[in-house]
């Protein structure tokens, strides 16, 4: 009844009117917030670096293990009879020189990229696993391997157009007033 007449009793005051309105922050409060945000950012960065270091250590151990296996394979290939080592090679160990039909171009064939998935990037399901590598570059390398196109050294820094500098002589073409 009283709300219709334009005034309210203290018991009828709305909840949102009682809330304390935010005041302007003092410089000290602003600085405190900045320090808190910076500390949180530093902690997050440290955690990320720790995670990357752990992964890098894992990559080094995996690389050493692969290197040991390659040396063992090489020793086994040297002891195996001639002609048997090419046929008995594992599926992952491909001799690209045997696959190559004919050499086309003076450069050697570029090495295939090492496609390696870190344990952190692995998913629970194989359906969720994203394919590694680039289909275009793989196809390009395969065409070079088959000898359809010339092997070339990749251009890392393209040539820039040469600019020539010419001096303009228009500033010398002037006449002094009063002199002939």
Token pair 């390659």 in the structure block, residue? 70
Mean pLDDT of 92-112: 71
Give ∠ CA 130-95-147 in degrees, rounded to 5. Answer: 85
Using the predicted structure, report yes or no on whether residue 91 has a pLDDT greater than 90: no
Mean pLDDT of the residues in the chain: 79
pLDDT attached to residue 90: 47
Q: For 16-67, write each residue's pLDDT tens digit.
A: 777 777 788 899 999 999 999 999 999 999 999 999 999 888 888 888 889 9
The span from the CA of 155 to the CA of 37, in Å, is: 44
100, 109 in Cβ contact below 8 A? yes
The span from the CA of 95 to the CA of 149, in Å, is: 20
Q: Of 134, 137, 131, 135, which is closest to residue 110 (Cα–Cα)?
A: 137
Token pair 């359809």 in the structure block, residue? 148
pLDDT attached to residue 128: 81
13, 3 in Cβ contact below 8 A? no
Q: Of 170, 119, 165, 113, which is closest to residue 142 (Cα–Cα)?
A: 113
Structure token pair of residue 51: 């995670």
The span from the CA of 52 to the CA of 91, in Å, is: 31
**pTM of the complete model:** 0.33
pLDDT band at 84 (very low <50, low <70, confident <90, very high): very low
DSSP string, 77-112: HHHSPTTTTTTS--SS---HHHH--S--SSSPPPPP
Q: For 113-122, write each residue's pLDDT tens digit.
A: 787 878 887 8
100, 143 in Cβ contact below 8 A? no
Q: What is the DSSP letter of 111?
A: P
């Amino acid at each position: 009844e009283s709300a219709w007449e334009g005034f309210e009793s203290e018991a009828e005051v709305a909840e949102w009117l009682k809330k304390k309105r935010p005041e302007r922050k003092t410089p000290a409060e602003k600085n405190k917030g900045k320090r808190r945000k910076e500390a949180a950012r530093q902690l997050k960065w440290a955690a990320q670096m720790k995670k990357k270091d752990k992964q890098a250590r894992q990559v080094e151990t995996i690389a050493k293990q692969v290197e040991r296996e390659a040396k063992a394979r090489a020793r086994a290939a040297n002891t195996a009879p001639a002609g048997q080592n090419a046929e008995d090679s594992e599926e992952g160990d491909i001799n690209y020189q045997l696959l190559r039909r004919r050499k086309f171009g003076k450069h050697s064939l570029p090495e295939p990229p090492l496609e390696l998935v870190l344990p952190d990037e692995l998913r629970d399901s194989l359906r969720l696993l994203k394919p590694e590598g680039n289909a275009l570059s793989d196809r390009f390398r395969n065409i070079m391997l088959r000898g359809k196109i010339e092997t070339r050294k990749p251009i890392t820094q393209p040539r820039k157009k040469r600019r020539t500098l010419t001096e303009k002589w228009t500033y010398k073409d002037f006449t002094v007033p009063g002199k002939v």
